[in-house]
Chain A
Amino acid sequence: MSANLGSNSGQEVELNITPIIDCFTVLITFLLASASFLSIGFFEVYTPGTTASAETVEPDVEVILRVSADQMVEMKLKGKRSGVTHYSVNDPAALEKLEGEIEKIKGEKLTVNQILMTADNDVPYQNLSKVMDSLQKSAVPVVMGDF
């Protein structure tokens, strides 16, 4: 890197960028050390009795999910559609089916105000998160807890 200061003088001035490089190195090291490369998102869940969950209009279908300790999730439908189905928590295809079932109900123009989700006491949070993950696409508020 050089700059010519006037054609008459013929003197070449070199810009010393070594201190700039030093500053950059320190800054980059600091930023790399403090940077987090994990992208964190969230699953939106409501607690019982909140405005999002306590809809005044009676829903056509009530959806109740129960995650059990044997790695299964039970979906109970009440109202205009009824029945009980079981899905494996560890099978992504089964969870897609669960999500598809809710989409199907919505597609039939039946109202679903909320999905009530409960679990057995010894179910690890990881299994709950798998079910929550599959429900996020349906855009139906998930209410967690049977208290």
Chain B
Amino acid sequence: MQKVRRLFQKKKKHETGEMSLQITSMADIFTILLVFLLKGLASDAIQIAPANATTLPAGLHSQPIPETALQIEITKLDLLVEKEKIIALADLHKGMKNDELVPSLTERLMKERERQKLIAQANDSVKIDNKVIVLADQNVPYSTIKPILKTLAAQGYSEVKFAAIKE
């Protein structure tokens, strides 16, 4: 009896032009998409997003990104530490002495080191990190990279990880 009634109702809906959208399958697709996107978001230990003007070089054998590290970016115009502008590349060689160290970068790295020391004092599980991630534009010359590397070495940052886009 119920079947007959349902059929009659369906027929009636069809006749009146009323349509019901089947959104159950759409909900399924959305759920899968959501899980996929959330997983992708959660898998990145650190967010690495170069500035818009920075074009990273490509690498076939590049290794995965470390858990945490200080980020230094060399864009076409500026030198940034943790997204904060340190100096314009045009002025990089101006303040340099014979030792070829970048004074403003030295100052910023010393501050960072102090911060790391304070954290390490308060928390035994945290160690002072000597890693640094460098996001450099592919057209930046070696003459720009060299004093930055030298300054990093002088401040005890010995492991430099140059970022590249995995091919």
Contacts and interface: CB of A to CB of B under 8 A. Distances in A.
Contacts, number: 157
A5 interface: no
A1 interface: yes
Contact of B62 (A20, A41, A50, A51): A41
A129 B27 CA distance: 45
Interface in B8-57: 23-24, 26-27, 30-31, 33-34, 37-38, 40-41, 48-49, 56-57
Tell which of A34, A121, A125, A134 has the most Cβ of chain B within 10 Å: A125
B158 A52 contact: yes
Chief secondary structure at chain A's binding surface: mixed
Interface residues of B, number: 54
A13 interface: no
A57 interface: no
Interface of A: 1, 10, 17-18, 20-21, 24-25, 27-28, 31-32, 34-36, 38-52, 67, 119-126, 128-130, 132-134, 136-137, 144-145, 147
Given A43-B62, A125-B74, 7 more contacts: A21-B30, A24-B30, A24-B31, A41-B65, A43-B59, A50-B158, A147-B100
